[in-house]
Structure 1
């Protein structure tokens, strides 16, 4: 009996190791497919609504994809517009960076006894050793850009195929389970689609709301290129926990480089705290609605594992994939302990509960008006 348990545990570990190996080595294929599958779930209601208006299935799918492309193009245009605005002031920023650099040189000379001339010689030595790598870095960047464009095209093609052949994909999944469990399998598919749709649509609306709030806050306290940093903080929200903090740190660093003082730093921190409060206690219940219900421990471990396996795409995909995994585990009796391990009970604080009730009242009011 004990020997059987050991074999079972060893088999599970071997399967997990094999899955990780497949995920790592099949990354070029799996990452675009996974992005496409999640975005296809997001666009399913749009394609269905267009079909209900009498538009053919293929054209409805194509129009929904074009709507997604138009939204992404708008975001890229806004970011490019802000970057060009920053580039126009590059000489001003360069002057301030040089001033800060000279201040640091003087500080190092006073504290460590290394003269500015010796510091410059050390930097030039490092630059000469790194100059040979510059051409390789440029080549790698251009190669990476080409790969990114290819993957974007693949994602769009996969989205079309996933939505157009969704009936066949669903039929394939149902044929994998016994007849008596197909009703539960259908419920699992429907719940997974619903969670992904609510998460992605809520996240998109959340990012727009963050753009507005950060833009107002940064403009009031006097951050240069406030809209650019607001967009950056909002877009980084796609990586939970890490994104907002990273965006705020970059905003602080650039503001200091641009000549900001202590008052500006305090203003940025206060803005971040206020936005986080509004996001947690008002926007999440109102905009996001149903959550993926993954506890913080599993979330952080999932983000770290996603980054180790798939890099930044893995961090972006970790939360929705864990949400789907939790739903699947909940519907499979043998896997229920894993759903319990990564999930969490909906225990809301008093403020969050009131915010949720307020959100439900607003949603009900909009439904009545319709």
Structure 2
């Protein structure tokens, strides 16, 4: 005799769901080195798929169309890294001067803290040393994340090529693994997932270019050294929703503090970045990025933090498109629709909440009236 979970009491259902989530997170964490490259490859393969299809419609063989699409992607990425590397070389030449200036500012800050708060310089140095010792695990985790990203870069071309080459095999599996009566829903989920991921990645790239241009222009006008490099790095960090923008502000402020006297430049940088962030969050993101990936801000922050905890830097980048796919699936399954609405950005009015509450009350009262008849 089979026992269905949905027929069990709530505490048994909740325990089973919690155990399943814990097991899922454990597997995702253990297999991170395998799953992270596959996830990046899947998203990029979906992005390159329209170009491959267009080339094949023009008579280019499937194998060659995939190679051409991947070469175009590799050339574009190489040009970006070449541009950044030229800026980094210039930054490296000035490192001794910047280090000397930073040490001078640090010494002045320590003396100011000793004079203002009565904390001896030796005690401050000991506190900094203790903080660095306690943060070794965090640094190690960050380095592991960077190494993980490098491993992803080397594995990506192979995975992307194979996913595009075996695309029909994968799609056929997804159709056959579900019941025939659900084929329409499967088709809708696949179509919306493809559109959402393509729109999201293309939107992110457009947003990154615009933000990089605004950042670099503002920093160059303010006279911040290496403004183009810092502006581009800030645009890349801005790809991390909500949290990356905060980190991006700290870099030009620190550079202005090290290379310039006074605080007028720092205030100008903060003001410029606030304006840029306002334009980005209220104009660029809603119109370019979030048109297909409708995840509310609260859930975006939570999933980004959870992604960082699970897969580090890679998890932060993958979290939003991954949750967007989950939302598309939830919206197609009746029992999971409330979870899809929780992830979305369509906020119900108080009137709708009251209507649902009254319906619940009527359903709870109705059996009692039937018993009394």
TM-score tier after normalising by the smaller chain length: 0.7 to 0.9
Q: Write the distance in 1 (CA, Å) between the matches of 2:229 and 2:38.
A: 31
**Pick from 46, 58, 66: which aligns with 2:63?**
58
Q: Write the distance in 2 (CA, Å) between the matches of 1:255 and 1:232.
A: 16
User: Is the Cα–Cα contact under 8 Å of residues 110 and 124 in structure 2 kept in the other structure?
Assistant: no
Match of 2:21 in 1: 16
The verdict on how the C-alpha distance between 1:308 and 1:288 changes in structure 2, with shifts beyond 3 A counting, is closer
User: Is the Cα–Cα contact under 8 Å of residues 195 and 292 in structure 2 kept in the other structure?
Assistant: no
SS in 2 for 1:311: helix
Q: Write the distance in 1 (CA, Å) between the matches of 2:33 and 2:214.
A: 37
Q: How far 1:95 moved relative to its partner? A: 2.7
User: Is the Cα–Cα contact under 8 Å of residues 105 and 119 in structure 1 kept in the other structure?
Assistant: no
The verdict on how the C-alpha distance between 1:260 and 1:193 changes in structure 2, with shifts beyond 3 A counting, is farther
SS in 2 for 1:63: helix
Match of 2:362 in 1: none
Match of 1:71 in 2: 76
Match of 1:32 in 2: 37
Q: How far 1:46 moved relative to its partner? A: 1.4
**Pick from 83, 86, 92: which aligns with 2:91?**
86
The verdict on how the C-alpha distance between 1:255 and 1:198 changes in structure 2, with shifts beyond 3 A counting, is same
User: Is the Cα–Cα contact under 8 Å of residues 83 and 228 in structure 1 kept in the other structure?
Assistant: yes
Q: How far 1:274 moved relative to its partner? A: 2.0
User: Is the Cα–Cα contact under 8 Å of residues 307 and 313 in structure 1 kept in the other structure?
Assistant: yes
Q: What is the TM-score with the length of structure 1 in the denominator?
A: 0.83
Q: Write the distance in 1 (CA, Å) between the matches of 2:8 and 2:175.
A: 35
Q: Are 1:198 and 2:199 matched, yes or no? A: yes
The verdict on how the C-alpha distance between 1:217 and 1:126 changes in structure 2, with shifts beyond 3 A counting, is closer
The verdict on how the C-alpha distance between 1:340 and 1:51 changes in structure 2, with shifts beyond 3 A counting, is same
The verdict on how the C-alpha distance between 1:145 and 1:229 changes in structure 2, with shifts beyond 3 A counting, is closer
The verdict on how the C-alpha distance between 1:185 and 1:269 changes in structure 2, with shifts beyond 3 A counting, is same
Q: Are 1:4 and 2:9 matched, yes or no? A: yes
Match of 1:154 in 2: 155
Gapped runs of 5+ residues in structure 2? 1-5, 349-373
Q: Are 1:99 and 2:99 matched, yes or no? A: no
Residues 105-114 or 228-237, more deviating: 105-114
Gapped runs of 5+ residues in structure 1? 348-370
In the TM superposition, what whole-angstrom CA distance separates every residue of 1:212-241 from its partner, at most 9, and x where no partner exists? 111111111111111011101110122100
Q: Write the distance in 1 (CA, Å) between the matches of 2:185 and 2:334.
A: 12
The verdict on how the C-alpha distance between 1:168 and 1:346 changes in structure 2, with shifts beyond 3 A counting, is farther
The verdict on how the C-alpha distance between 1:147 and 1:15 changes in structure 2, with shifts beyond 3 A counting, is closer
User: Is the Cα–Cα contact under 8 Å of residues 188 and 327 in structure 1 kept in the other structure?
Assistant: yes
RMSD across aligned positions (CA): 2.8
Match of 2:214 in 1: 213
The verdict on how the C-alpha distance between 1:149 and 1:221 changes in structure 2, with shifts beyond 3 A counting, is closer
Residues 256-265 or 245-254, more deviating: 256-265
Q: Write the distance in 1 (CA, Å) between the matches of 2:39 and 2:265.
A: 41
In the TM superposition, what whole-angstrom CA distance separates every residue of 1:287-307 from its partner, at most 9, and x where no partner exists? 336231111121111111111
In the TM superposition, what whole-angstrom CA distance separates every residue of 1:122-161 from its partner, at most 9, and x where no partner exists? 59x959x98xx9xxx99x96x8876544432212111111
Aligned length: 337
Q: Write the distance in 1 (CA, Å) between the matches of 2:308 and 2:124.
A: 37
Match of 2:227 in 1: 226
